[in-house]
Amino acid sequence: MLLRPGIRWLGCAVLAFLVMASGDARARDSDHTDFQLQPYSESDEVDREGLRRDTWYFLGYQWVTIGILYLAPESVSSWSDEQKEGYDMSYWWDNVTNPQIDSDKFYLNYVLHPYWGASYYVRARERGYGAKQAFWYSAMLSTIYEYGAEALFEEPSIQDLIVTPVFGSLLGAYFMNVRDGILIREQELGFRTTKDKWAWVLTDPLGSLNNQVDKMFGRETHLQLLPYRQVARRHHQWPGNVTTTDKDVVYGVGFSLQF
């Protein structure tokens, strides 16, 4: 069962809708500035807890999107009821053990993937990490996606594992220069222009979305995803005092959100 482009686009649309909403709210919050601004690339502080929270949010968004697609009609998700009922984790295992060079369209592999790789890179830089650390963070999130949520539907893409962090980090470095320029102009003007507000969101979509999630649930939000293995046993009593046992093994992922 393949993760069709329609499913990818729905996931992107859900995230894009939330990002645009968060961008509008963030823009209103930043109309006036009464403190000294410094380009983020000059920050010496590393926010490990913040990046850890960003990572958990990233994982949560993927599983929420999968849940929405699972509940969506077949015309949207391309999942038939038979496919949903017959799905098990053996599909995931077959996929992760057979990475492939995919045949996706150019804009998916060489536009969207580098863009999201850049967003991962920027998130780490915004948390105070250096360029090398941000590159490896981008590579880590790309690998988590390819071998995690996406592998539920199709094999990990070899070129995506390379293109996303490599081209994404190059694009992310450019995004950081754009963001530094926005901060400098804001310091000079005393406010952020509409163009800069949009650029601020689009160069760090995960940060804008995470900021809104923080506002909704508070900083004490704890998101936990834990795989589990459950064994169900059924005992049967037969004539002659003979007892047999059937065993079913169920694999899944437990989701916990505390706030």
Q: Of 210, 39, 57, which Cα lies nearest the Cα of 128? A: 39
> How would residue 42 be classed by pLDDT, with cut points 50, 70 and 90?
very low
**194-239: pLDDT as tens digits:** 899 899 999 999 998 888 888 777 665 555 656 656 666 666 566 6
Q: Structure pTM?
A: 0.71
> How would residue 80 be classed by pLDDT, with cut points 50, 70 and 90?
confident
Determine the pLDDT at residue 237.
64
Every domain of the chain and the residues it spans: 5-220, 223-258
Mean pLDDT of the chain: 77
Residue 118 CB burial class (10 angstroms; 0-12, 13-18, ≥19): buried
Q: Enumerate residues 6+ apart whose C-beta is below 8 A from 110.
A: 163, 167
Residues 96 and 227: their CA atoms lie apart, in Å, by 16
Residues 40 and 134: their CA atoms lie apart, in Å, by 13
Residues 189 and 198: their CA atoms lie apart, in Å, by 17
**114-162: pLDDT as tens digits:** 999 999 999 999 999 999 999 999 999 999 999 988 888 888 999 999 9
